[in-house]
Structure 1
């Protein structure tokens, strides 16, 4: 039987350059690299038999890709679409498993707190959704819609009827505004709170310093050396921290912190010093505000809304203290805890910069609008819930 003549290949400069990048590029797939080499050899006028010898490919393979490129250009070098293996599960079965994942286990009388992929696979088979399915298959289905029923996140409703008003006052102070008027010279903003129950845990064996391929090691067993409270006041715009340790929290320890700050300059002679505090028992309500003003007439107490300590910038400083000073907790006694905290204050104040607070009143309005939609609108049925 006569053999069909090899298809002639003629390349322009741009096509030749593109094929060279495909044939010799380090990131090109091997199959595309070999196909590009076939075309380049063919463009030099080589026979199919010679190309097969030089590339190590079968003669029929060379003939195929030479002909495909001659007929379709670069598009002919790509694999054609294939039907692939028929799906083992129907779209209905996949949707039913996703629907099950979007329901709490308690709603299905399953004694679990939350679903996992193995438990979902087991429940799907128990319900007759499918006769057999693996946990990895269920995981792949859930991944398509970013469903992670094994995770959970805590949240809380807004219970303060004056949430927006109180939050707006705090955010305005961060933006150097009070009652619509910009803050001037001699007006300062202090964020204050208490970090309770900092324990002195004396490890029963010395802590080992990190070494090559070894992290720091802290013994699990410890002796209790008592606990203290750390009170701190943070100047929002000057990035200055004033702290003290007390045996416990309460009105008197908090007022001791206020006196420590207000007895020094520039706060003693300031026009106004705004004290942003949460609704803790040490500084809650109008009585606390009146007590502060009675002791220091130029001090104004501003409360954050209930359950909104995240609006208090001193909490950011406390998180820094927790990471850099307290954890891992290894102190011989409370004196060492206090000394470490005071030394860190000096170290922090030497290089501190104001926090880049980006949450504004506009962000507050967006947050409240989203919460209103969640609480006012009836919950929608899951997008995977199937009609009965």
Structure 2
């Protein structure tokens, strides 16, 4: 189909420019902004419309049109950022790329694991503020590290499809409940009174604490509404989990099937649970892959309750902790907020494939 709108100006790429653009586009670890612009021009030169190129490269059509026109008007030099009003730039694109390349591709001179602004400033001849601005502009955070773990579950693909299917296309006349236990929640009392927050002074509490015992929070998060069915037990065994299943059975409409999303913890697969299921045929268990707790939406609820009350809470007894937990959950259920799942199974597989490709291509 012909592209609608004004007729595009012809874009012609010389052999010399094509070689230069291909060299820029192959950069994988640095100068990704310029690499993307080069890929846009190369794809446009093959005859792709703005819409087609935008869809293939994951950018807006307006972005494709902008760099198409900039190349036609100024060649490869036109792909660099234009000078903006205000004080003239003191750091050239080449110097910025040098800092980015060094950050991504070379180890720091002190033998450490990552660069600091001070070390990079000394290495590059810039000041720390300039290094910090370059890092922010390209989203570089050498001081941070994300941890991840690949699942070794032999049925990983089947389980991902099963659970994401429940989230994205839940069955009719059924509830989808994300179930898990947050164990060993400690009732901690500080060794000195907590000092309240004041202007320019944060809340202060002692580093050391007094342990008063632990409790376990059982929770079933309704994926559709965000409401939570909860129970608290001092022990964490299959017996307590069966009691919680009985509670779910009592507190959900009897005419609905109940699909439970669970992890692979032993209490969820114990013989007494397997014996319980035939007597409750409306219950269906769906297990997430091993090492994939991120697929269970109740973990997002646990993160919220940890951030909002457990981490900074002070409790003199387990009973006080349990009452506080229940009060917080009651407030949550008065105005529940569901956590919306958006990724399909195929998108998850694509992300994992990208990780695997990066691992395989790594020189380390």
- Where on the TM-score scale, by shorter chain, does this alignment land: which range? 0.5 to 0.7
Alpha-carbon displacement from aligned partner over 1:2-32 (angstroms, at most 9, x marks no partner): xxxxxxxxxxxxxxxxxxxxxxxxxxxxxxx
DSSP-derived class of the 2:361 partner: coil
Q: Does 1:102 align with 2:104?
A: yes
Distance (whole Å) between structure 1 residues aligned to residue 352 and residue 196 of structure 2: 48
Rate the CA distance shift 1:339–1:151 in 2: closer, same or farther, 3 A. closer
Deviations 1:153-179 (A, max 9, x none): 2223343343332122222223453xx
Structure 1 residue corresponding to 2:236, chosen from 249, 258, 277: 249
Counterpart residue number, 1:9? none
Residue in structure 2 matched with residue 328 of structure 1 by the alignment = 312
CA distance in 1, matches of 2:93, 2:199: 53
The residue number in structure 1 matching 2:340 is 357
Q: Name the counterpart of 1:53.
A: none
Counterparts in 2 of 1:223 and 1:143: CA distance versus 1, 3 Å: closer
Measured in 1, the distance between the counterparts of 2:163 and 2:93 equals 55
Q: Tell me by how many angstroms 1:326 deviates.
A: 1.6
Q: How far apart, CA to CA, are the structure 2 residues paired with 1:165 and 1:277?
A: 15
- Which runs of 5 or more structure 1 residues have no equivalent in the other structure? 1-80, 125-129, 382-388
Residues of 2 paired with 1:156 and 1:258: CA distance?
30
Measure, in 1, the Cα distance between the counterparts of 2:331 and 2:129.
Answer: 51
Q: 1:341 aligns with which of 322, 325, 330?
A: 325
Equivalent in the alignment of 1:220: 207
Residue 327 of structure 1, CA deviation: 3.2
The residue matched to 1:338 in structure 2 has which SS? helix
1:165-214 CA distances to partner (integer Å, 9 max, x unpaired)?
2122222223453xxxx412xx2222110112111111233334445665
Cα RMSD, aligned residues only? 3.6
Relative to structure 1, the CA distance from residue 209 to residue 159 in structure 2 (aligned partners, 3 Å threshold; closer, same or farther) is same
- Write out per-residue CA displacement over residues 212-242 of structure 1, whole angstroms, 9 at most, x where no aligned residue: 6655443433211122211112233344322
Pairing 1:75-224 to 2, within 5 Å after superposition: 91=94, 97-103=99-105, 105=107, 110-122=110-122, 124=123, 134-139=127-132, 142=135, 145-177=138-170, 182-184=171-173, 187-210=174-197, 215-224=202-211
Could you tell me which residue of structure 2 aligns to residue 279 of structure 1? 264
Distance 1:336 1:140, change over 3 A: closer
Deviations 1:70-116 (A, max 9, x none): xxxxxxxxxxx9xx89x89994x7655543321363xx885312111
Cα–Cα, structure 1 residues 162 and 218, in superposed 2: closer, same or farther, change >3 Å? Answer: same
Q: Give 1:282 deviation, angstroms.
A: 2.2
Contact 1:233 1:257 in 2 (8 A): no
Q: TM-score, normalised by structure 1?
A: 0.60
Q: Residues 116 and 239 from structure 1, CA distance in 2 versus in 1: closer, same or farther, beyond 3 angstroms?
A: closer
Counterpart-to-counterpart distance in 1, 2:198 and 2:136: 39
The 1:170–1:95 alpha-carbon spacing in structure 2 relative to 1, beyond 3 Å, is closer
- TM (norm. structure 2) is 0.64
Counterpart check, 1:367 vs 2:348: yes
1:164 & 1:204 partners in 2: Cα distance? 49
**In structure 2, do the counterparts of structure 1 residues 306 and 95 end up closer, same or farther at CA, with 3 Å as the change threshold?**
same
Cα pair 1:200 1:224 within 8 Å, conserved: yes
- Give how far 1:372 is off: 1.6
Closer, same or farther in 2 for the Cα pair 1:208/1:119, shift >3 Å? closer
Query: Structure 1 pair 146/253, CA: closer, same or farther in 2 (3 Å)?
Result: same
SS at match of 1:245: strand
1:237, 1:90 → 2: CA distance? 49
CA distance in 1, matches of 2:235, 2:329: 20
How far apart are the structure 1 equivalents of 2:231 and 2:285? Answer: 20
SS at match of 2:162: helix
Query: How far, CA to CA, are the matches of 2:224 and 2:131 in structure 1?
Result: 52
Secondary structure of the residue aligned to 1:119 is helix
Supply the distance in 1 between the matched residues of 2:118 and 2:318 (Cα, whole angstroms): 48
Q: Is the 8 A contact 1:189 1:237 kept in 2?
A: yes
